[in-house]
Structure 1
Amino acid sequence: MQSLKFCLIFISLIFSSVSYSLELPSTRTLLTVSGLISNTNKDSNAIFDRYMLDQLPRSSISTHTPWNEGKHTYTGFNAQEFFDLLGVEGENLSLIALNDYMIDIPVKDFTEVGAIFATHMDGVPMTVRNKGPIMIVYPFDDKPKLKNESYYGKSIWQVNQIVVNQ
């Protein structure tokens, strides 16, 4: 009886643990994530193509920004789900753009402040020409205290690399 109980506990632990598996991209890589992550798919990095990013749970923000006229709806992958998928172990992100511009952003800007990794504007995939493939967007209209140079500076576009730091 004791061995049966132990066996049932062991089996339930196996099936209750969440395990993520990252596939390899089948098209051009848009995003490379490195640093303090526990789930990778190429060497010590996690690489993603547009299809993989579009399969992640979605988040949206409708807001005005200093870079586009009028109010737009930005949609992208949900940061918390993304961080969980990668097994993010750090508290800061270094985001790097295609032109090598880099900015450090705390993870809490995504989990508490409400920033998103936008890949679409008004339902259309963002391209390099219109600040894509990934742009960091804050909920400026919902949180007017974010309308300042500090948060505008963190709204990096053409993101193609993320390094997770302490």
Structure 2
Amino acid sequence: MNKRRQFFLGAAALGAVNLPSAALAQNAPKAQKGPTLLTVSGLIGAGNRGALDPLLDRMMAKQKIKFDKAQAFDFAALAALPAVTIKPTLEYDSKPHTLKGPLLADVLKAGGVKMTDKTTVFLRAVDGYAAQVTAAEIAKYRFIVATHMDGQPLSLGGLGPLWAVYDADRFPDMAAKPLPARFAWCPWATYHIEVKEA
């Protein structure tokens, strides 16, 4: 066997090993630079990935999430949106911390969501904790999808890599509540958002 034929057969075999299955190709987010950190489903635009695959989307399937299409965001997509900085006092150490990330409303808009007064958003964390907020609450409290705390990226195993959160100290109705209750709508390690109409 000549060297040219050996090279061709080796390249073909390597390509066959590395090619994704049809299901993986259909469900993989398009044109992403990194892994998906946030998936938005429900009443979205065209989306950039296909339906949930119960075999490959294991955590979402275990949490009974279902969708036919979704908008997947990697870190670069979130970082490309205008960032907002807030400084809430956190329940974990009762100290103010600087949190930075895009407004939740901007993330939803980037996913093709058209917010109305009937829009309801479910924010879900990796541990399954979910919070329900309305479009009016998202706007009033200026929720962000925090990517950084005190100048450092939020870590998996800590409060990140993403945290849907707002500055509770700035709103008298929230500041009057005990610290844990202020953040009941703020699941740390947020990874999935479902958009519905009430």
Q: Please report the TM-score for the alignment, with normalisation by the length of structure 1.
A: 0.78
Q: Percent identity?
A: 28
User: What one-letter code is carried by the residue in structure 2 that aligns with 1:86?
Assistant: G
AA aligned to 1:124 is Q
2:78–2:107 CA contact under 8 A, matched in 1: no
| Distance in 2, Cα, partners of 1:109 & 1:133 | 23
Match of 1:56 in 2: 81
Aligned residue for 1:110, secondary structure, equals helix
**CA-based RMSD:** 1.9
Q: By how many angstroms is 1:83 displaced?
A: 2.5
| TM-superposition CA deviations, 1:126-165 (whole Å, max 9, x none) | 0122200111222122113213365421121011100101
- Does 2:119 correspond to 1:112? no
8 Å contact from structure 1 (residues 24, 48) kept in 2: no
1:34 and 2:65 equivalent? no
For residues 116 and 70 of structure 1, the distance between their equivalents in structure 2, rounded to whole angstroms, comes to 19
Equivalence for 1:17: none
Question: 2:168 maps to what in 1?
Answer: 140
- 2:150 is matched with 122
Unaligned stretches of 5+ residues in structure 1: 1-21
CA distance in 2, matches of 1:104, 1:161: 12
Change (3 A) 1:127 1:42: same
Choose 1 or 2 for highest CA Rg: 2
Give yes or no for contact 2:168–2:183 (8 Å, CA) kept in 1: no
Q: What's the offset of the Cα at 1:69?
A: 4.0
Q: Distance in 2 between matches of 1:122 and 1:162?
A: 25
- Tell me if the contact between 2:122 and 2:195 (Cα under 8 Å) persists in the aligned partners: yes
Larger displacement relative to structure 2 (28-37 or 127-136): 127-136
Query: For structure 2, which runs of at least 5 residues remain unmatched after alignment?
Result: 1-28, 51-68
The alignment's TM-score, normalised by the length of structure 2, stands at 0.67
8 Å Cα contact 1:24-1:47 kept in structure 2? no
Name which of structure 1's ranges 37-46 and 84-93 shifts more when overlaid on structure 2.
84-93
Within the candidate set 81, 98, 115, 2:126 is matched to 98
Residue of structure 1 equivalent to 2:18: none
The count of aligned residue pairs is: 145
- 2:187 matches 1:156: yes
